[in-house]
A and B are shown apart, each in its own frame.
Chain A
Amino acid sequence: NAGVTQTPKFRVLKTGQSMTLLCAQDMNHEYMYWYRQDPGMGLRLIHYSVGEGTTAKGEVPDGYNVSRLKKQNFLLGLESAAPSQTSVYFCASSRTPRTPRSGANVLTFGAGSRLTVL
């Protein structure tokens, strides 16, 4: 069982270049998330999706776009990379809560993608 797989694991970009990070999950999860983690800090939510074809903004969405064309994949795009986007990016997925009130989504994380923008 692969769980959540992120590609690539490492990437170095020059300012202004574009790239796409791919997240794939094989657990049939409805919800998927993209986070970034900067040194010594927690995770900040960039964008998330509650189902195929849907996306929503998180805490820090500026400079990023996402797409969820297939249930198992969630893509994170940087159209014009900036040094401030140097970070480690984590994808996560979860099941739909059993009830709207429970909100009991346990997240399964990928191993991370380390991006450096020069």
Chain B
Amino acid sequence: SQQGEEDPQALSIQEGENATMNCSYKTSINNLQWYRQNSGRGLVHLILIRSNEREKHSGRLRVTLDTSKKSSSLLITASRAADTASYFCATIGGKSTFGDGTTLTVKP
């Protein structure tokens, strides 16, 4: 089974709104990463948060990590139509495991 599980599976919002996606994982981690996949393309790395960090920002992205609950969230603020994509959390080590993703649709 997947190490990371995203919630919700699909999210549809209007441009300008915020989008929040959650990820749960099962085992201990050194870090957790978020990736984005545009339709028909490979995955692109967005942000990495280490196990000793609780929150990290990058532009319009905000990631939180709660190791006690084994969960992470990705917040995209002021969303744009171009943010429409699938978003995956991943625990990367010798093996690297991805969740099933959240499909975000941002309507103009």
Contact = CB atoms under 8 A, between A and B. Distances in A.
Given A43-B43, A56-B94, A112-B41, A106 B100 contact: no
Interface residues of A, number: 29
Interface residues of B, number: 27
A101 B93 CA distance: 9
Interface string A45-70: 10010100000101100000000000
Contact of A43 (B31, B44, B50, B88): B88
Interface in A22-76: 33, 35, 40-45, 48, 50, 56, 58-59
B78 interface: no
A41 B99 CA distance: 8
Interface in B44-65: 44-45, 48, 50
Contacts of B95: 45, 48, 56, 58-59
From B33, B42, B44, B97, residue with most partner A Cβ within 10 Å: B42
Interface of B: 2, 4, 29-31, 33, 35, 40-45, 48, 50, 88, 90, 92-101
Interface of A: 4, 33, 35, 40-45, 48, 50, 56, 58-59, 90, 92, 94, 101-112
